[in-house]
Structure 1
Amino acid sequence: MATFRRTMADCGLIDMGFVGSPWSNKFTKERLDRGFQTTQWRSCFPYSRVLTLNPTESDHCPLLLDVSKEKLQYRKVKRLFRFEEMWHGNPDCTNIIQREWAVPSTGNALTQLCCKIKKTGQQLQQWHNREFDRQKNELRILQEKMNDIMKMPYTQEQYEEQRALHVRHSQILTQQEKYWRQRSRAIWLKDGDRNSAYFHRRASNRRSKNLIRGLVNE
């Protein structure tokens, strides 16, 4: 299965999930039949899904691929605050928490606690948005500098600069890997895989599968 998962990642294929019965084989009660997609295909048909139909004479339940590019209108729910794994160990995160927690507030103990948590979360989220954009810009600049150095003849100074750029580049990729891994829920992968593109595809697929298209009854 580990080899199969690596092959799927190398080919850029993602499991589309299912709607209906979780078992595609009615006797062994296993989900053997699946639908897969690429990121490019998902971008063309973002609201497609795999439906598990009712059992027939076959020992496998038929699957129906419902292809759809419709964009449903729905009210966007305010995102709840979640602590990001990539914040852990960052001194800026620690400073924000200490600063906001030290701000005095009024009310009873529970009211003060709720107020501190809310304000601290807001400050952390604002800092995260700025930091994430800054990292993306820095990553682009680092890549351009490393590409320029690769075209230059070898010198000791150039080698040391290249090493420093590579270390910083690796640090930023590690942070972004944690960000996308947390959203992909691909917890079976170990640290150091550095497959951000895979995590990004998993997160996008998970977001589309979690969309509620409508209610069947009351």
Structure 2
Amino acid sequence: MDAFRETMDVCGFHDLGFRGNKFTWQMGLHMRTFVREKLDRVIVTEEWGLFFPRTAVSTYSLYVSDDAAFLLDEGRGGRVGHRGFKFEPFWAADEGYGSVVKEAWDKEGIGGVAEKVQRVAGELKSWAKVQFGDAKRRLKEKEDELGRW
């Protein structure tokens, strides 16, 4: 680890750190075998920091994979009134999820990775609206109903 830190210093790199769970990987189902580690980092150059001074990185829970998902926000802000894409981990448990992702990714006429990711997000958002409706609202209603018992 010392050699890694020294290399980062020599190259002028720095770790952005992140908000959320400090562990990016976990394995094991029982307390005796459960392991959590910070394996991943977001490394940037000094120039990156000058271009994107408000950059923030967030980690998300390890629901589906043993590796955490990251969101890099370069701090430019979103469009007014634009509701961004929010992945819901329970989608991955639905049998239709994989085919939606694959079809959107493989769709003809889409260029690079950024465009493919945007297409997948749009398709998943539409699919989830039909497949699950407003699941969070319905869950809250059911919780409230149970609370009245």
TM range (shorter): 0.3 to 0.5
TM-score relative to the length of structure 2: 0.44
Normalized per residue, which structure has more strand?
Answer: 2
Normalized per residue, which structure has more helix?
Answer: 1
TM-score relative to the length of structure 1: 0.31
**Larger radius of gyration between Structure 1 and Structure 2:** 1
